Structure 1
């Protein structure tokens, strides 16, 4: 009986092994296509490749991680072959500008969010006034007399800080007031100082678009920084 049972199992096991063997996927051999090495046989060849390296290195270092290489080559060919460009010079500059603007915004997303949050909360503070442009200010000391125009030259004392309290400039530290024309300063200053009369001291909270925007200013003012200025208008200089 035991022998019969074992004998009966042999065909079943053989079938199971055969079935599993049939279901096992067959691996296809991977055929690698050999890439022919690029040959540079002339100075033009070498320089052309060098131009590509230089262009890509510069773009990558400025945050451009990928491009449509077919359209990049088409742009080069259209110029050299005298073809009508797909974009005007104006639209080309806009496209490049918008690309870098998007890269910068992504890089400084935290800075932008902090500025927006600060201004949204600050405008609820008693004594803070907000203009239609988004400029916020607080009157510390009111002045008296005529207010300057956007082209007037004024004498002021000031102190500028970032939202974290870091001071980046101060005429008080230099112990010398600044004389400057209001059409030669950031928009937040141009608008804000026109609200003041001589003798006044205001505190301004300037959104990035009314300050140094996406470029920032040197190492002390990063791109998209919301700035805080205390400004004292000493006098309007004679024209």
Structure 2
């Protein structure tokens, strides 16, 4: 998070805090009021993810009040820059620690999981456990397949699920994260399996969303429903949030 993004987030949350001295005075009826609440809620979640859990709400409100009232600011610009830099450094240190802890926890999880009966570990480190066997065809890298899936962290937290949405999806075998590319080609149509995907076959050191920390091992319940006819697979469909293109877009 860059300093100006951090400052904007703090200011926006400040607007919400400044107007919420008494919750009984806040109405959430009009689209603008609801959107305002949503903005504050999303920013609050973002700041919490960044470790910004010690903001002084009164100081934030005071800054908003001074700006709106066109009063002289109480801190010089260089003091503010220094403060934002300190918060940025703290956030980076916190995320680095979380990433390191996730990497160590992932290694231990895979080491223990690989010892269980029914779990096969491939040369790449991918682990697969067949839950329901089938003798259908196996996809090729050039195929498009229809699948149902549910993605979890190793603690069982669900971050994405076509099963929950009640709608399977179509996706290109070679257009997803490496763990899926390999895992799909090991499956037969009609099979259900669990994929235990090491971080290096998923998102690695990147965090695609607050729901998936960097260096996370991902666990997928995956059902291979069908291999699409190439002519029927011409229309693109939305891919799962947890299985993006192999090369994520840079921020």
Interval containing the TM-score (normalised by the shorter chain)? 0.5 to 0.7
1:64·1:103 contact (CA, 8 Å) conserved in 2? yes
Q: How many residues align?
A: 155
- Cα deviations across residues 118-159 of structure 1 (Å, max 9, x unaligned)? 101111111110000000010111122321112311000011
The equivalent of 2:223 in structure 1 is: 232
Change (3 A) 1:143 1:103: same
Over alpha carbons, which structure has the higher Rg? 1
Structure 1 alignment gaps of length 5 or more: 1-49, 66-99
Distance 2:196 2:139 in 1: 20
CA-CA distance at 1:58 after TM superposition: 8.1
Change (3 A) 1:114 1:145: same
- Cα deviations across residues 177-232 of structure 1 (Å, max 9, x unaligned)? 01011222111001101101110111011111111111122121111111100100
1:104·1:214 contact (CA, 8 Å) conserved in 2? no
The equivalent of 1:40 in structure 2 is: none
RMSD: 2.7
The equivalent of 2:178 in structure 1 is: 187
Structure 2 alignment gaps of length 5 or more: 1-76, 231-251
Change (3 A) 1:236 1:62: farther
SS of the aligned residue for 1:108 comes to helix
Q: 1:135 aligns with which of 116, 126, 135?
A: 126
Change (3 A) 1:175 1:207: same
Distance 1:152 1:64 in 2: 46
Distance 1:234 1:59 in 2: 50
Q: 1:156 aligns with which of 128, 132, 147?
A: 147
Change (3 A) 1:182 1:104: farther
Change (3 A) 1:140 1:108: same
The question of 1:172 aligning with 2:131 is answered no
CA-CA distance at 1:63 after TM superposition: 3.9
2:198·2:217 contact (CA, 8 Å) conserved in 1? yes
Q: 1:219 aligns with which of 185, 210, 227?
A: 210
Distance 1:180 1:57 in 2: 46
